[in-house]
Structure 1
Amino acid sequence: MEASMKAGTGEKQQETQQYKVFPILFAMLLSGFIGLFGETALNVALTPLMGLLEVGPTTIQWLTTGYLLVLGILVPVSGLLLQWFTTRQLFTTSLVFSIAGTLVAALAPSFEVLLIARVLQAVGTALLLPLMFNTILVIFPIEKRGAAMGLIGLVIMFAPASGPSISGLILANLSWHWIFWISLPFFLISLVCGLLFLPNISTLTKPKIDVLSIVLSTLGFGGIVYGFSSAGGHGEAGGGWTSPVVIATLVIGIVALLLFSIRQLSMKEPVMDLRAFKYPMFTIGLLLVFICMMMILSSMLVLPMYLQQGMAVTPLTAGLVLLPGSLLNGFLSPVMGRLFDKFGPRWLVIIGMSVVAIVLYLYTTIEPTTPLINIIMMHVFMMVGISMVMMPAQTNGLNQLPRQYYPHGTAIMNTLQQVSGAIGTAVAVSILSAGQARYLKGVDNPQSPENMLAGFTSGVQNAFVFALILALIGLLIALFVKRVKVGSVEKQQSSMH
């Protein structure tokens, strides 16, 4: 059931209607949801896992760092993979890795086996994410894309946000292995559905594979993700930003990324076409998504930590406090998609970023005595604001790209989301630790429980000040958002043929 895209708009829409859109979306979104759920599901289990697997905090951190590292290395070359392999080949390979990783994790007897399983899972997610975006861009006409991208928004935002809540519920009643046993059947359903209904929709151009570009990309993105993740996890031996390993990997990452960028701009068939940045709405959308992901992932790390250590609630309660906002954010993404199709992105993005900035300002005043209901309401409003920004900015940006840039645009956007997560969490944890240390230096008895709690609170407030600054920068960028005109994009795309 292979369908090729024609130049004319009428033919394009006719072709679009030939796709069995619902089962294709179902297969992609279900596997994407479970893959991204796995990204954060282990967060609340890391502390008990240290005891069960007999490893320290620096070692256990690799279950998260290793996962992010694989995403940081593989997602940048996904644009190339989309041009070399068919949709069905990539989807099947992605699901096979995800299923294998989940099964190995569910049976894992030791830390080493669990780490291998996490790497396999990450390979599956890294292949799936860009494929999901590219498929939506091809099977939906531009005027209906907002609603479809809203469903992707539901998955991308709700899945990692719900990870700690759902795994908290699982851990309260079952062993940590069940986080993976429960995920497994959903991957199997997605695979069957994809094999039955997913056609080959991408155009294979099979560009020349430039090995040097892939090496530079791996060193660049891998170095940055590893460097920031290690610094946030307090380095190899608790050295943080001063650790020689962290400094070396960040320097190697930045230099390699610079060389990678220069090489891509000078090549006729680049691995990742950075010329996509010449489309202003794509660049603005990318910046807004980057800032949103930094805010979400840093607050998702800091807030549960404060709820458990500062306010002495259980992991399950901490997960449940964050659940209403996460649920609402997921369900609002398709609604925002329809509003985007109708009204465009500008006012959605400006209002959304303003709401986020106000909430983050309120978070900077958080105390151990802050009522839980206040934190729930603040989180709800923050997640509503984020849903107003993420999907409209992302869709509007991708809409401006001509079709030959779709694989590259989705690869750039997904790569920077992974990098932003590593940077956001590392900087937030470092600011938290520095604020705590600074407070304790100024008191007579730093070891007293009262001072320890006050120091931790001070550090958390500082971390939210960092998130607030990000929101204000995002609000400034949002003022430059303009709606991409449908006609101009279609003209661009048909002129290519």
Structure 2
Amino acid sequence: MNQGSAENQQETKQYKVMPILFAMLLSGFIGLFGETALNVAITPLMGLLQVGPTTIQWLTTGYLLVMGILVPVSGTLLQWFTTRQLFTTSLVFSIAGTIVAAMSPTFEVLMIARLLQAVGTALLLPLMFNTILVIFPVEKRGSAMGLIGLVIMFAPAAGPAISGLILASLSWHFIFWISLPFFVISLIFGLRFLPNISKLTKPKIDVLSIILSTLGFGGIVYGFSSAGGHGESGSGWSSPIVITTLAIGAISLLLFSIRQLRMEQPMIDLRAFRYPMFTIGLVLVFICMMVILSSMLILPMYLQQGMALSALTAGLVMLPGSLLNGFLSPVMGRLFDKFGPKWLVTIGLVVVAAVLFLYTSIHSTTPIAVIVTLHIFMMVGISMIMMPAQTNGLNQLPSHFYPHGTAIMNTLQQVAGAIGTALAVSILSAGQSGYLSRVADPASTTNQLAAFTAGVQNAFVFAMVLAVVGLLCSLFIKRVRVGKQAGQGSAH
């Protein structure tokens, strides 16, 4: 069986790997680009759509919420529907959402469009991971996952920069019009070249597990996102809605976990946590996503509000680091294949922690060149952490755990994004309020700017602490022995 599978893999690699990768990576890139593309357009959109900051936050919160609810179900979907069915469905949702967003006349229509886009991305991400794990042998997986790293890290990082360039001369609708042809091209390539590569086992669908998963992950994402959104008015964490949804989310997740461990065919097999490198990889990816998404929110905000830069300039400041991160991901993949994860991850976390430490003293007169340089170093560090930690963790899993491992990893990335951004915004708001409470004239422009700067510095202290925790975890990472796992991988 192993020999036959190996031959199939060889045939897949010879004839179909590049077009399959192209279809998956292009659609994944545009889908994830959409996750942060509206960040620099948030301020003008409030005026154009006549909504407040807490309402406009829903364009991101709603997106993350759908991802947090749907991605956990993906492990089951991968075992019930063929690769082509899931890929086509995800692209149809993405295309529909993009067209509706591009023509949105009101906030409500744009909100519906964002939810449709999120369904498409939520279906695509786990499918992309699972496909890579099946069509590539273990010894070449680092390079392939490096390309996924390019998509997962570069797309959200480049979102604000690309959007800033678009908004400089076109309306916000063109953020979506420009995305549309790429989705269509991906769909054509997928229909033409993508085979059905996953094995359908059609496990029994446990409705209670789906309900508990939805309440659990949905409650956590919504609670944290709402706290972050309301943080602007200073009432976030004490809001009854936030407390209630976080409590419901936590209790539901506990019940969900107990149920999964007791089932013969769980929706998400939490026994994957028995593999220590998978667990360590997961913790590192979780911390990395919290750091990157909180920084991606705080830094553009400070560049525009604290340093009075335009959306275009703020985007351009972050472009070199984002581009370098994209180019380096495949390079880090090849280095991982050759040397393993230990030194890459540890050095990456040292670099990220050092950059965040320097960001804690950012102020309105900090030279732009310094911010660009720091951002470049941070993105280099991130590229050294994400893919090696992710790939090493997934490599330790036997093949029947692939759908579950990718579902766990992708779900926790969405949860990490919601938690990271919410905590960062809340810490920023608390720092701002604390500073203004200590000055004689809180309404003065000088004190307002100083208060905002203090809040931003506090948010970067939070990110730095996360990076240090990650650094301590990285000391325990070990390379998974390829020989032992290759047989398990090819048996798939």
Would the TM-score normalized by the shorter structure come out above 0.5?
Answer: yes
1:423 alignment partner in structure 2: 419
Equivalent residue in structure 1 for 2:288, among 292, 295, 304: 292
After superposition, what is the alpha-carbon deviation per residue over 1:276-321, rounded to whole angstroms, capped at 9, x for unaligned? 0000000000000000000000011111111111111111111110
Supply the distance in 2 between the matched residues of 1:215 and 1:237 (Cα, whole angstroms): 32
One-letter amino acid matched to 1:234: H
Supply the distance in 1 between the matched residues of 2:198 and 2:347 (Cα, whole angstroms): 36
2:353 alignment partner in structure 1: 357
Report whether the alignment pairs 1:77 with 2:73.
yes
Supply the distance in 2 between the matched residues of 1:17 and 1:62 (Cα, whole angstroms): 42
8 Å contact kept, 1:230–1:236: no
Report whether the alignment pairs 1:320 with 2:316.
yes
Report whether the alignment pairs 1:216 with 2:216.
no
8 Å contact kept, 1:7–1:493: no
Supply the distance in 1 between the matched residues of 2:175 and 2:270 (Cα, whole angstroms): 38
Structure 1 residues 477 and 7, CA gap change in structure 2 (3 angstroms): farther
Deviation at 1:259, TM superposition (A): 0.3
Deviation at 1:17, TM superposition (A): 3.2
Q: Please give the root-mean-square deviation of Cα atoms over the aligned residues, in Å.
A: 1.5
Is the partner of 2:230 in helix, strand or coil? coil
Which structure 2 segments of 5+ residues have no match? none
8 Å contact kept, 2:134–2:489: no
8 Å contact kept, 1:226–1:249: yes
1:461 alignment partner in structure 2: 457
One-letter amino acid matched to 2:324: L
Report whether the alignment pairs 1:164 with 2:160.
yes
Which structure 1 segments of 5+ residues have no match? none
Is the partner of 1:322 in helix, strand or coil? helix
Report whether the alignment pairs 1:155 with 2:151.
yes
8 Å contact kept, 1:285–1:393: yes
Report whether the alignment pairs 1:379 with 2:375.
yes
8 Å contact kept, 2:88–2:191: yes
8 Å contact kept, 1:236–1:245: no
8 Å contact kept, 2:234–2:429: no
One-letter amino acid matched to 2:110: L
Deviation at 1:34, TM superposition (A): 0.3
Structure 1 residues 372 and 481, CA gap change in structure 2 (3 angstroms): same
Q: More displaced, 83-92 or 58-67? A: 58-67
1:332 alignment partner in structure 2: 328
Structure 1 residues 10 and 123, CA gap change in structure 2 (3 angstroms): closer
Deviation at 1:13, TM superposition (A): 4.6
The within-5 A match list for 1:174-323 is 174-234=170-230, 239-323=235-319
Is the partner of 2:439 in helix, strand or coil? coil
1:41 alignment partner in structure 2: 37
Supply the distance in 2 between the matched residues of 1:33 and 1:493 (Cα, whole angstroms): 26
Supply the distance in 2 between the matched residues of 1:17 and 1:59 (Cα, whole angstroms): 47
Supply the distance in 1 between the matched residues of 2:5 and 2:204 (Cα, whole angstroms): 31
One-letter amino acid matched to 1:21: V
One-letter amino acid matched to 1:204: L
One-letter amino acid matched to 1:389: I
Report whether the alignment pairs 1:432 with 2:428.
yes
Report whether the alignment pairs 1:483 with 2:485.
no
Identical counterparts, % of pairs: 80
Supply the distance in 2 between the matched residues of 1:206 and 1:472 (Cα, whole angstroms): 43
Supply the distance in 2 between the matched residues of 1:199 and 1:208 (Cα, whole angstroms): 25
TM-score normalised by length of structure 1: 0.97
Deviation at 1:493, TM superposition (A): 5.0
Equivalent residue in structure 1 for 2:447, among 451, 454, 474: 451
1:60 alignment partner in structure 2: 56
Deviation at 1:74, TM superposition (A): 0.1
One-letter amino acid matched to 2:249: G
Report whether the alignment pairs 1:92 with 2:110.
no
Structure 1 residues 134 and 480, CA gap change in structure 2 (3 angstroms): same
Report whether the alignment pairs 1:411 with 2:433.
no
TM-score normalised by length of structure 2: 0.98
Supply the distance in 1 between the matched residues of 2:341 and 2:61 (Cα, whole angstroms): 34
One-letter amino acid matched to 1:265: L
Supply the distance in 2 between the matched residues of 1:312 and 1:55 (Cα, whole angstroms): 22
After superposition, what is the alpha-carbon deviation per residue over 1:188-225, rounded to whole angstroms, capped at 9, x for unaligned? 00000000000000000000000000000000000000
Is the partner of 1:241 in helix, strand or coil? coil
8 Å contact kept, 1:66–1:119: yes
Deviation at 1:324, TM superposition (A): 0.4
